[in-house]
Structure 1
Amino acid sequence: MSAPAPARLVVLVSGSGTNLQALLDACADPAYGARVVAVGADREGIEGLARAERAGIPTFVHRVKDHDTREEWDRALAASCAEHLPDLIVSAGFMKLVSEEFLTRFGGRVVNTHPALSPSFPGMHGPQEALDYGVKVTGCTLFVIDGGVDTGPIVAQTVVPVEDDDDVESLHERIKVAERAMLVENVGRMAREGFTITDRKVRFGR
């Protein structure tokens, strides 16, 4: 019996694309069970797009300012994603929120990471807020995006200790390292094993 076709990943980026690169490296192994079929961005001239282009992967860019409304931008982004028939859309440092319409179109198959242990410290400043609060551990979360801010069903979490001499930069850098490993491991599992979501609980397996 032939092996199943690898899951098709569309990756969305806004910056340097280090999480994208980690996925590209993982996908080079056929046993990983996925391949990146397109990379989308909300800005031009970023390293994330350059990484995709060096790997020979199609790219698309939709800048909000090039559309009359945010809704038109969202629909254009969704249309470009859909052209590549994704099994999973990975928001990898993508700094824009997508709409309920976008999420409905892709039916629970859009994932994102957050640099904190959800539901703690949602939003843009998780590492800073963890330091300010004085927690002893923080970490990162992989979740299925819903209509809230970092509130979707949790796929995986990794704990990162907070050291006494940490500042925001040192803590965030260690979180990013953990985040890349968590993302690669669990996107691979989602691709190979499938997953279901019931009562906010994400379980691997079809």
Structure 2
Amino acid sequence: MRVAVLISSRGSNMQALVRACEAEGFPAEIVTVLSNNPDAGGLEFAASHNIPTKVINHRDYENREDFDAAISEYLTEQRVDLICLAGFMRLLTAEFVNKWRDRIVNIHPSLLPAFKGLHVHERAIESGARFTGCTVHYVRPEMDDGPIIAQAAVPILQDDTPDDLAARILVQEHRIYPLALKLIAERRVKVHGSVAKIIDASEPDTSLINPSEDN
């Protein structure tokens, strides 16, 4: 499976995906890393791993539609099968999302559908919730919406700061995003309406949907 990863900054989840794809026998290949920010630190990481990079700066376009059209044209030229958003800080238009329907995935630092949007960790702590986590999901035009592929739960400790919680969640993000990509590339994720179902979900690797320290 030919994968494009879209980033806006350092792209730590992109780095986790790159390392996973470098493993022998992994069923996906990252063929390009694209950023809307020419100064994104993740571009240098990708180049150091011999992955072609591309900058399409949103500031060069008059509107979101033209910007998204430029991205779509480039990804089509690269014969991309799947788009992985990894800290891509631009809202994609409904036209773009629908064109690439079920071929765009995102990772969000909460247990969706809870805590959509921004300032997720602060809101989770302030809510008094005992658990939060992260979610890999197919992208839909609505923000942080779409069929859920994988999740990992993380406890909220009583003395947590948003930074503390974010750091623990990020560890799990780096585990479940490669897992989700592997499941998709193996054609084991099937979307039925608003639900993504995993084929052979009893197999050992799907225990990482809520990973333990031993995995």
Give the TM-score normalised by the residue count of structure 1.
Answer: 0.93
Tell me the distance in 2 between the aligned counterparts of 1:77 and 1:134.
40
2:127 pairs with one of 122, 127, 133: 133
Deviation per CA, 1:107-163: give whole Å up to 9, x if none.
Answer: 311000111111111001111100010111000011100011111111111100001
Aligned length: 200
Partner of 2:47: 53
Deviation at 1:104, TM superposition (A): 2.1
Tell me the distance in 2 between the aligned counterparts of 1:194 and 1:67.
38
> What is the CA RMSD across the aligned residues, in angstroms?
1.4
Query: Do structure 1's residue 146 and structure 2's residue 137 form an aligned pair?
Result: no
Tell me the distance in 2 between the aligned counterparts of 1:63 and 1:157.
31
Contact 2:98–2:140 (8 Å) recurs in 1: no
Q: Supply the AA of the counterpart residue of 2:3.
A: L
Which runs of 5 or more structure 1 residues have no equivalent in the other structure?
1-6
Query: Do structure 1's residue 190 and structure 2's residue 184 form an aligned pair?
Result: yes
Q: Supply the AA of the counterpart residue of 1:185.
A: L
What is the aligned-residue identity percentage?
35
Partner of 1:30: 24
Tell me the distance in 2 between the aligned counterparts of 1:197 and 1:54.
35
Contact 2:131–2:154 (8 Å) recurs in 1: yes
Deviation at 1:62, TM superposition (A): 1.4
Query: Do structure 1's residue 11 and structure 2's residue 5 form an aligned pair?
Result: yes
Contact 2:121–2:165 (8 Å) recurs in 1: yes
Deviation at 1:30, TM superposition (A): 2.8
Partner of 1:173: 167
Query: Do structure 1's residue 113 and structure 2's residue 111 form an aligned pair?
Result: no
Query: Do structure 1's residue 159 and structure 2's residue 129 form an aligned pair?
Result: no
Tell me the distance in 1 between the aligned counterparts of 2:80 and 2:118.
27
Q: Supply the AA of the counterpart residue of 2:80.
A: P
Partner of 2:83: 89
